[in-house]
Amino acid sequence: MFRLLVASLWIVSILPPPANADQFAPELDGLFERLAAAESETAGRQLESMIWRHWLAFPDDSEAQYIFNDVVEAISFGQLKRGLEQADKVIESHPNFAEIWNKRATLYFIQGDYQRSVSDIIQTLALEPRHFGALSGLVQIFERQAQYQRALKVLAQLKAVVPQSPGLDDWEGRLREKLAESAT
């Protein structure tokens, strides 16, 4: 599942960004409304791709975009040290850009540093509470830490944002089974 997420992020990142796209683009609210009401998995994925295009683009800062793209590339090639160094540069210059926090959280997740990953996910969600990638990552961390109740709460948030996303009901079922097993 994680490899699929990384691969899909890379594919979306090579799409040309819309003009002046960013996480504060006014059209994002409408995209999220349509996403929550999407009647099919296909429609949902198309809307998710449109949202990712906004999240992955810097408005009017080609240098930051270049460094950010290097972070995405470093993730896809497993070059974690390079990715973290570049992510730190972007965070320093653009601390309100939610997706760079999410990318650094991904790098920490890959390293198994869940504490730092959660910290960056919290920052991502503070900047963009509907960030379905960050929510998904948080569920994965809580599941790996056997914090099933917390994972279920975050999964409920994720389902509110992307209700048509495949596998969420099955994931919820597995988490409920693990929670029940841990209670015995």
pLDDT in tens, 104-114: 999 999 999 99
CA-closest candidate to residue 130, choices 28, 19, 38: 28
Which of 14-23, 66-75, 107-116, 175-184 is predicted with the least confidence, judged by mean pLDDT?
Answer: 14-23
What does the domain layout of the chain look like in residue ranges? 2-183
The answer regarding whether domain 2-183 maps to CATH 1.10.8.60 reads no
pLDDT tier, 61 (very low <50, low <70, confident <90, very high otherwise): confident
pLDDT tier, 142 (very low <50, low <70, confident <90, very high otherwise): very high
Please tell me the distance from the alpha carbon of residue 103 to that of residue 47, in angstroms, as a whole number.
Answer: 20
* pLDDT tens figures, 11-35: 334 333 333 336 778 899 999 999 9
Q: What is the structure's pLDDT at 22?
A: 60
Helices assigned H by DSSP within 18-131: 27-36, 41-55, 62-76, 80-93, 98-111, 114-127
115 half-sphere exposure, CB direction, 13 A CA radius: 0
Angle at 83 between CA 78 and CA 85, to 5 degrees: 145
Please tell me the distance from the alpha carbon of residue 67 to that of residue 12, in angstroms, as a whole number.
Answer: 17
Return the percentage of the chain with pLDDT > 70, whole number: 88
Please tell me the distance from the alpha carbon of residue 42 to that of residue 40, in angstroms, as a whole number.
Answer: 5
The SS3 of residue 131 is coil
pTM of the shown model: 0.86
Structure tokens at 111: 């390293």
Count of residues for the chain?
Answer: 184
